[in-house]
Amino acid sequence: MRARTPFKTFRVVALILVVLSLLAPLAWMVAASLKTNVDIYNPDKALLFTPTWDNYATVLKQANYVQFIANSLWVAFAATALSILIGVPAAYSMSRFSMRRSALVVLMARVIPAVSLLVPWYYVFSNLHMVGGFTVLILSHMFVSLPLIVYIMMGYFDGLPLELEESGLVDGLTPIGAFRRITLPLSTPGIATAGILSFIFSWNNFMFALVLSSADTKTLPVAIFDFVGYASIDWGGLMAASTVVTLPIMLVALFAQKYVVSGLTAGATKG
Amino acid sequence: MSATTTTTARTTESLTTSTSTPGWARWANQHRKWLFAAPAMVFVALLIVFPVAWTVYLSLTDAEGSVRAESSFIGFANYLDVLSDTERFWPAVLRTVVFTSGVLLVEVVLGMAIALLLWRPFKGEKWVRVAVLLPLVATPVAVGMMWRLIFDPNIGMANRVLGWFGLGPWPWLAGEHSALPTTMFIDIWQWTPMVVLILLAGLTSLSDEPQEAALIDGATAWQRFRHVTLPLLMPTVLVAVLLRGIDALKTFDILYATKGKGGGSFHEVETLNVYAYGLSFDYNEYGVSSAVLIIFFLIIIGSMWALTSRRKDVA
């Protein structure tokens, strides 16, 4: 067992390197968001600088980000809630009645390039004068949320023993009653996992809002581009905007780490 | 066995004999399979199946310009145009293949190494796992912007670090030939953690016994990995490759965030997805873009099929 100590040292060094390379860029982004543009251009002020909130003031006041934060929250929340509402019962049916072919159709949505849906959507919704409204944005985000929720919840229902529902039936519950009073309460961890993940993906989604939103309804990932001009970039503002978009979702992931990880790795070990 | 039979019998009994249940409720219970699935299926039919069918139709027309403009059926002309286009289409295919296979290879090898590092418990494990999770949930557009500052040829940290070793400056994202590898680096930074999480879930679910047996037989660490861990983990590796592969093929956000429309002024990072997007929404060439999208879709399905048929060989 002499070999253990060098391995231990190697492992510690390697782990530190991994953590540093993952976190340093994020720390750099946050640091730049607290600098003036003059300091960003000055190599001597890389680490030692006088922090300023000016960039955040620009982002929140001048660039109207309070509105865009509200837009992102509303779209992500509505798309997630609606997807749970129609996705959870569907996942239940697909799991209990082994509707594998229907499930495959829903899951195909993970494979289809989003652009190929955007073109027809754009055709239909611009003829209905709906492009730029929240309804279309929320529907488009459900394209990501719904398959995710069906996928995660199918796995979850597959793992719930049938006996629990059957005992409810014996006690006089109808099948729908057993679903509502027994299966659904038992599924809260699964629904939480699916919901949090759907919220993250919707919050981060860029392409749908890029095409389907207007100046009033655009979400945060699109609003970031307000800081990128043709000739020059307001680096301080851009980094503050990027931090405003990313930080909330990182906090969500931090506090709901268990759920996020189980959602991201759902189905990974079934083979 | 007999217990199940009794349960079923009593279920039917309780359903048919209970007179308090109104008719619609009984109907709902009997048809719950389709009742539960219907809303989601209608959504999928209207917003996914129908648009895909329309894309197929559009690819056979000369639709362009305004979405209200008339278009006529032109058969497979768009496909012929696209497949003979060596200026934009085939280079985009090549970039898509290079990007996807490159990031997949690095992400799986690096992800495996990091997953093995994290496998056995250690002090501070919780914090390392948080660090692994953060890039993964970060908004891709913001990640692109973040690296855009770091890789800026004049003020970026990347060239400063190179300078310490007497290297550089490199053009990174601004270079005609270095832009694609740089965007691949960004993708690897953001998505290797995804592979780590999937492989770690797989590693944790492995039983300890084969490992112990190999240890007793005197196998070295590498032999144990190569002949015990890796074969057992292979199904999980393929899941990771499949999930990452599909998303890597469709990468858009970081390419658009770092290089803008058309994958930069020389189209240096223009992959199929970026090309199709540009055709649709910068040039309004709906017919041609639909043909590109159908070909792209077939490429995705083809590579998935190739992978899953391999998966059966392994399992």
What's the pLDDT score for residue B314? 52
Are the C-beta atoms of A242 and B146 separated by less than 8 Å? yes
Structurally, how many domains does chain B consist of? 1
Q: What is the CATH number of the domain that holds A80?
A: 1.10.3720.10
B98-116 tens-digit pLDDT: 999 999 999 999 999 999 9
**Please, are residues B205 and B115 in contact by the beta-carbon 8 Å criterion?**
no
Q: Does residue B118 form part of some domain? A: yes
Residue B70's pLDDT is 84
User: For residue B161, what is the domain's CATH number?
Assistant: 1.10.3720.10
Compute the average pLDDT of residues A149-159: 92
Structural domain contains residue B304:
no
Residue B138 lies in a domain: yes
* pLDDT tens-digit readout, A205-262: 999 999 999 999 999 999 999 999 877 889 999 999 999 999 999 999 999 999 999 9
Average pLDDT, chain A: 90
Give residue B187's Cα distance to chain centre: 11
Report the candidate in A92, A266, A79, A95 with the shortest Cα–Cα distance to residue B43. A79
Which residues 197-256 of chain A have a CB within 8 Å of chain B?
Answer: 200, 203-204, 206-207, 210-211, 220-221, 224-225, 228, 233, 235, 238-239, 241-243, 245-246, 249-250, 252-254
C-alpha span between A150 and A252 (Å, rounded): 22
Instruction: Show Cβ contacts of residue B260 under 8 Å, excluding neighbours closer than 6 positions.
Output: A228
* Cβ B287 vs Cβ B57: under 8 Å: no
Closest listed residue to residue B276, CA positions, set A134, A221, A112: A112
Which residues on B lie below 8 Å from A206 (Cβ)?
Answer: 139-141, 252-253, 256-257
DSSP A34-59: TS-HHHHT-GGGSS-----SHHHHII
Q: For residues B239 and B225, what is the distance between their CA atoms, to the nearest angstrom? A: 19
Task: Classify residue B223: in a domain, yes or no.
Answer: yes
The DSSP 8-state label assigned to residue B173 in this structure reads G
Secondary structure of A139-182 in the HEC alphabet? HHHHHHHHHHHHHHHHHHHHHCCHHHHHHHHHCCCCHHHHHHHH
> Is A45 a domain residue?
no
For chain A, percent of residues with pLDDT exceeding 90: 63
Longest dimension (CA), chain B: 87
Task: Name the amino acid, one letter, at A43.
Answer: P
pLDDT above 90: percentage of residues in chain B:
65
pLDDT band at B313 (very low <50, low <70, confident <90, very high): low
Provide the pLDDT confidence category of residue B6 given band limits of 50, 70 and 90: very low
**Is the Cβ pair B36, A90 closer than 8 Å?**
yes
Instruction: Tell me which residue of B98, B105, B111 sits closest to B192, measured CA to CA.
Output: B111
| Higher per-residue pLDDT: B78 or A127 | B78
Mean pLDDT of chain B: 89
Contact of A69 with chain B, judged by CB distance below 8 Å, is answered with no
Q: Does the pLDDT at position B72 exceed 80? A: yes
Q: Is the pLDDT of residue B16 over 80?
A: no
In a domain, B308, yes or no: no
Degrees (nearest 5) of the Cα angle B78, B80, B85? Answer: 95
**What is the count of structural domains for chain A?**
1
The torsion of the CA quartet A270, B3, B8, B9, rounded to 10 degrees, works out to 170
Position B23 confidence tier, pLDDT thresholds 50, 70, 90: confident
DSSP string of B214-269, one letter each residue: HHHTT--HHHHIIIIIHHHHHHHHHHHHHHHHHHHHT--HHHHHHHTGGGSTT-TT
Contacts of B50 in chain A (CB under 8 A): 120
Interhelix angle B179-205/A257-264, rounded to 10 degrees, is 100
Cβ–Cβ contact A159 with B under 8 A: no
At residue A233, what are phi and psi to the nearest 5 degrees? Answer: -120, 135
pLDDT at A2 over 70: no
CB A153 within 8 A of CB B47: no
Is A92 within the bounds of a domain? yes
| Residue range(s) defining the domain that contains residue B169 | 89-269
User: To the nearest whole angstrom, how far is the Cα of B205 from the nearest Cα of chain A?
Assistant: 7
Residue A196: give the domain boundaries: 62-264
